[in-house]
Amino acid sequence: MAQLFFRYGSMNSGKTIEILKVAHNYEEQNKPVMIFTSGIDDRDQVGIISSRIGLKREATPVFSATNLYEEVAKIEPKPCCILLDESQFLEKKHILQLAQIADGLNIPVIAYGLKNDFQNELFEGSKYLLLYADKIEEMKTVCWFCTKKATMVLRVDEDGQPMYKGDQIMIGGNDRYYPVCRKCHANPSI
C-alpha cells in the first residue's frame, strides 16, 4: 500500500537536493516519477526546482486551481512516485488530493517543505500534511549563528535586520532567510 510522506526541515536542510536524488534513483531504474512544485515559488522561475548547490530541474507548477489527483490520474504509464517541493505553500485541498493519489492510485507521494514560517506559525500545506501524512520525517540542518539544530526560520530585511511581522509568504533565499535554533530566533547574532 502506497503512503503519503511529509519530509520537513528548516531552510538549507537539503529538501530540494533530496528530491533530485530520489528522482534520479527511480529514473536510473527506468521508473518514471512526477515532480511538482508550488506555482508561487519564482526564485528561479515558475516550474523549476533548484537546489542551493546549483542543480535544477523542471517540475509541474501547482496553482490554486490545480487538481493534483487529476493531473496524475491522466498520465500513462503511471509514475512510480510523486515528489513535491515547497509543499508548505499548498492548500488543504491539495493535501487531500495527495492522500487520494496514495490511497486511490497506489502511488507513493513524498512531499518536502518547511513546517513553520518566520513567525513560528504553521503553513497551511504543512498543517494538513502533519495531519494526513502516513509518515513524517525531519530533515536536519544547523543554526546559522551557533551549532544547535535549526528548527525555525529567521526572516531579515534588506539591511539584514530580523523581521518578526509581515505577510506569511515572501519568496526568498539566503538573502532573506536563515535557518536558526529557538534561542537564535529570539536573539540572533547578526
Rounded Cα gap, residues 51 and 12, in angstroms: 9
Fold (topology level) of 4-139: Rossmann fold (3.40.50)
pTM: 0.93
Half-sphere exposure of 105 (CA within 13 A, CB side): 25
Q: Are 17 and 11 in contact (CB under 8 A)?
A: no
16 is in an annotated binding site: yes
Residues in Cβ contact with 143 at an 8 Å cutoff, skipping those fewer than 6 apart: 149, 150, 179, 180, 181, 184
Residue 46's pLDDT band (cuts 50, 70, 90): confident
pLDDT computed for residue 154 by the predictor: 95
Task: Give the CA angle between residues 67, 127, 13 to the nearest 5°.
Answer: 95
State the catalytic residues: 86
Q: Which residue has the higher pLDDT, 44 or 143?
A: 143
171 is in an annotated binding site: yes
Per-residue pLDDT tens for 11-29?
Answer: 899 999 999 999 999 999 9
End-to-end CA distance of the chain: 48
19 is in an annotated binding site: no
Please name every residue paired with 122 in a beta bridge, in sequence order, or none if there are none: 116
75 is in an annotated binding site: no
What amino acid is encoded at 60 in this protein?
A: T
What does the domain layout of the chain look like in residue ranges? 4-139, 149-186
Rounded Cα gap, residues 97 and 132, in angstroms: 11
8 is in an annotated binding site: no
